[in-house]
Amino acid sequence: MRWKTNPKVLTAQCLAEFMGTMIYVYVNVMSVGTGATGVAVASGLLYTLMILGPGQLSGGIFNPAIGLGFFIASAGQIKIITFLAFLLSELLGGLAGAALVRICLTSADYSNATMTEGVLSLNLATAGIGGGFMIESILTFCLAMAVYVTLANGDWKQHAGWGPVAVGAAVCICTLCGYDATGACMNPARALGPAVIASFYADVNIAWAYHYIYWIGPGVGAVTAAIIYRVLHFLSDQEKQEED
């Protein structure tokens, strides 16, 4: 998320966020049949490729929660119009990705099961509502921290280019940690798209059950990470000034 509101640049960035989020949701849902390790490997590798590809234009966020964290941590440097444009692009990308899944898996039963199995069905027997919220918060906190440390301000090229790989590894790790309990969503766009599409064909109650957890959990996690990152950055800047 760079700080420009030049309309041409912003359009290209929004297109990049739309594309990246669409492909991420498509891959994350389509690989559900291969189990936790398959989903984690596919999602992690894809995140790295998406940051290296369309992310060169937009910073590689693909996640409204992490975008919100960026917006708050920037303390006014990111204009609200940029934030909202990114948010909308990511939510529409998630919707497009889920629609692609629906077109590919023509069996309504299977397609809906696939879309809801991964994320939308909180495993009440293991985590419960409070646990699900905690898991989504903690995992998104870790992922967001990895993003802020390595990709913030687009300066990951200074880290010998390993930033996108580190973020992909974080996606893989977090997916393995949370897959059984909550599906390791960590991304409201990942939750909204499949829920909307599934509610056309499946039981609406199932499609939207506990949906709010996938907004509040990631949101709280990413914003907390952004604030802590900002404070640490501020303290370290202050220390440098004192040394001078």
Identity of the residue, 110 or 212, whose beta carbon is nearer to a second copy in the bound complex: 110
- Any residues with CB less than 8 A from the CB of 49 and at least 6 apart, and which? none
Q: Cα–Cα–Cα angle for 103, 105, 111, nearest 5°?
A: 110
Query: Smallest gap, in angstroms, from Cβ of residue 119 to a second copy?
Result: 16
Query: Smallest gap, in angstroms, from Cβ of residue 174 to a second copy?
Result: 8
Contact residues toward a second copy (CB under 8 A) are 23, 26-27, 30-31, 33-42, 45-46, 48-49, 52-53, 100, 103-107, 110-111, 125-128, 130-131, 134-135, 138, 142, 146, 149, 160-162, 166, 169-170, 172-173, 176-181
Q: Are 218 and 185 in contact (CB under 8 A)?
A: yes
Q: Are 135 and 231 in contact (CB under 8 A)?
A: no
Query: Smallest gap, in angstroms, from Cβ of residue 80 to a second copy?
Result: 29
Identity of the residue, 44 or 64, whose beta carbon is nearer to a second copy in the bound complex: 44
CA dist 142 and 21 (Å) reads 19
Q: How far is CA 63 from CA 83, 106, 156, 192, in A?
A: 11, 27, 18, 11
Query: Smallest gap, in angstroms, from Cβ of residue 88 to a second copy?
Result: 23
Identity of the residue, 25 or 207, whose beta carbon is nearer to a second copy in the bound complex: 25
Query: Smallest gap, in angstroms, from Cβ of residue 18 to a second copy?
Result: 15
Q: Environment class of residue 157 by beta-carbon count within 10 Å: exposed (0-12), middle (13-18) or buried (19+)? A: exposed
Identity of the residue, 38 or 158, whose beta carbon is nearer to a second copy in the bound complex: 38
